[in-house]
Structure 1
Amino acid sequence: MKIALAQMCSGIDPEENARQLRLLLAEAAAGGAVMVFTPEMTGLLDRDRSRAARVIRNESDDVVLSTARSEAKKSGIWVQLGSLAIQANDNPDEKWVNRSYLISPDGEIAARYDKIHLFDVDLSPDEAQRESSAYAGGHRAIVAPIPGAMLGLSICYDVRFPALYEALTNAGADILAIPAAFTVPTGKAHWEIMLRARAIEAGAFVVATAQWGKHEDGRTTYGHSMVVDPWGKILLDMGEGTGLEICDLDRTKIAEVRSRIPAVANRRSFELPVKMT
């Protein structure tokens, strides 16, 4: 299965991000990719929430979602749109959602996933981030069929919560999408380690497409979009820079690894721990 990863440096203008996405999807289709994966916040990366509020739309009016759907239909490819900032309903006072999309080759939305674990952290005395102040967290894990496989959806900070990926693989996922906009300090320290761990635990492919570079809103993201195979081997590391890379997934590797180390099959339920006094 030939897939493409689009490493982007999304800015504050959804129209420009849509233009860049259109070029990347056309390049992927020309390269023979069956499916394209994009990063978290493909359509808008802006920590100025007052400014962002002027361009965040609902699904029917989002220009990036519309572009992804039309290009998927035009090229006959699957698109895993890492995520978009979306108005969940028509009330502008409601919190937004950080929503991932799976778009089929007929341009239809095959699955939606709202980011469950929100990035509420204190990275340093000078840097705190509170995603939950503007976004509502999701409540449902999603697994969806794609050609010859089952895709489990997640977003960025979710990668730190193995229970989500256990639930996804228990439901049949054998490819895990982890689009992201990782900070540079956390990326250097944790990105590769966690992606390989999620792949090894699940005996699944991990496809993790990331934002990279200095963004218009002033933040800097880590890049290093990766594909990791079910044995934990890195098949692709895009490093720094923007652009598109193609990777071929040998899906026979999933059954091979799961037969050698059947960790998914060997999972057992257990009683919660009792705290001894």
Structure 2
Amino acid sequence: MQVSLLQCQSSRKPPENLAFIAQQLAQLPRAADEPQLVVLPECSLLFGGHEGEQLALSSTEGADSLFAHLAALAKKYHVYLAGGTIPVTSGDGRVYSRSILFDDQGSELGSYDKLHLFDVDVSDNTGAYRESDTFCAGERISVVPTPFGHLGMTVCYDLRFADLFRALRLQGAELIIVPAAFTKVTGAAHWEVLLRARAIETQCYILAAAQWGAHNEGGRQTWGQSMIVDPWGKIVAQLPEGTGWVQAKLDKQLLAKVRQDMPVCQHNRFAAPQLLATPRK
């Protein structure tokens, strides 16, 4: 079974972003009738924008909603689609950053709201990032049964929190998606080592689809380097720069062998992680 990650250079203009994704899906290298899992990066349909723009596009209802557009892409191109993230109304004037998984008929299989919000200072042109001004943190983890295996869902900054990945493994995850928009500075320092560490710790395939390049007239720069990492921590495929596809086939026998030969879940003497409630801002 093949997995395909699309590296994007998204903007604040959803129609342009949708057109690029549709163009890439139309050209997706694939074998006829082979099940296909496609993973889009964080903010693939709307990158940046102030609170008003996020709220204006936060409905999951109607034929012109971002949700509907993603569902239509999954159905038209007959792919299982992890649709990056879209804004979804939280009810307190902010939005959730929601990742939605669709089957190849455009039906929703599961979803996940980003748990960890990027409220940090970075030595780049932006300087300070405060996602909590616009976004509301999620309150649950998500592992979804799929033909490709049990799929755990995370988003970008979640990558730094090993407890989340361990919790996903304990709930049965065999592959974990990481749609992301890592900054150029933090990506250069930590992206690869964190992805490989999470794969080794969980003994899962890690599927990390990233934003790359300069966005919105250079106001933001992202790292790129979308990659697929196997359960032994080997980088199977990656795209350091530019836009386009990163592809590989999943080897279930390798996953089973790694877990059998080194049964870290059985050996772990620490209590399972527990998700703490986050007070509303």
Specify if TM > 0.5. Answer: yes
Among candidates 83, 86, 97, match of residue 85 of structure 2:
83
Determine the structure 2 residue equivalent to 1:229: 230
1:15 deviates by 1.4
Aligned to 1:261: 262
Q: Within 1, Cα distance between the matches of 2:123 and 2:133?
A: 19
8 Å CA contact 1:4–1:33 kept in 2: the answer is no
**TM-score relative to the length of structure 2:** 0.89
> Structure 1 residues 270 and 151 mapped into 2: Cα distance closer, same or farther (>3 Å)?
closer
Could you tell me which amino acid in structure 2 is paired with residue 81 of structure 1? G
Q: For residue 152 of structure 1, give the secondary structure of its aligned residue in structure 2.
A: strand
The alpha carbon displacement at 1:229 in A equals 0.3
Structure 1 residues 170 and 21 mapped into 2: Cα distance closer, same or farther (>3 Å)? Answer: same
1:35 — aligned with what? 37
Identity among equivalent positions (%) equals 38
Equivalent residues in 2 for 1:1-277, closer than 5 Å: 1-28=1-28, 30=30, 34-50=36-52, 52-53=53-54, 55-61=56-62, 63-88=65-90, 94-124=93-123, 127-216=127-216, 218-270=219-271
* Mapped partners of 2:143, 2:69: distance in 1: 24
Label 1:71 to 1:120 Cα distance change in 2 as closer, same or farther (>3 A).
same
User: Within 2, Cα distance between the matches of 1:88 and 1:120?
Assistant: 18
4+ residue segments displaced more than 6 Å: none
Deviates more, 1:164-173 or 1:259-268: 259-268
Hey, what's the Cα distance between the residues in 2 that align with 1:187 and 1:108? 33
CA distance in 1, matches of 2:189, 2:49: 23
TM-fit CA distance, 1:66: 1.8
Alignment check: 8 A CA contact 2:54 2:95 kept: no
User: 1:12, 1:216 within 8 Å by CA — same for their partners in 2?
Assistant: yes
Give the drift of 1:88: 3.5
Q: Which moved more, 1:197-206 or 1:38-47?
A: 38-47
Structure 2 residue matching 1:100: 3-state secondary structure: strand
- Give the RMSD, CA atoms, in angstroms: 2.1
TM-score by length of 1: 0.90
Question: 1:21 deviation in Å?
Answer: 1.6
Distance (whole Å) between structure 1 residues aligned to residue 188 and residue 48 of structure 2: 22
In the alignment, structure 1 segments of 5+ residues that lack a partner are 273-277
Corresponding residue for 1:275?
none
Give the letter for the 2:179 counterpart.
P
Mean CA deviation greater in 218-227 or 123-132? 123-132
Whole-angstrom distance in 2 between the partners of 1:180 and 1:144: 19
Q: Which residue of 1 aligns with 2:279?
A: none
Amino acid at match of 1:40: E
Q: Secondary structure at the match of 1:10?
A: coil
- Counterpart CA distance in 2 for 1:259 and 1:252 is 10
CA shift for structure 1 position 249:
1.4
Which 5+ residue runs of structure 2 have no aligned equivalent?
A: 274-281
Residue type of the partner of 2:83? L
On the 8 A contact 1:96/1:136 being kept in 2, the answer is yes
Greater alpha carbon shift after TM alignment, 30-39 vs 174-183:
30-39
CA distance in 2, matches of 1:165, 1:35: 20
Quick check: 2:228–2:235 contact (8 Å CA) kept in 1? yes
- CA distance change for structure 1 residues 263 and 271 in 2, over 3 Å: closer, same or farther? closer
Could you tell me which amino acid in structure 2 is paired with residue 213 of structure 1?
G
Q: Is the 8 A contact 2:209 2:226 kept in 1?
A: yes
How far residue 68 of structure 1 moved from its aligned partner, in angstroms, is 2.0
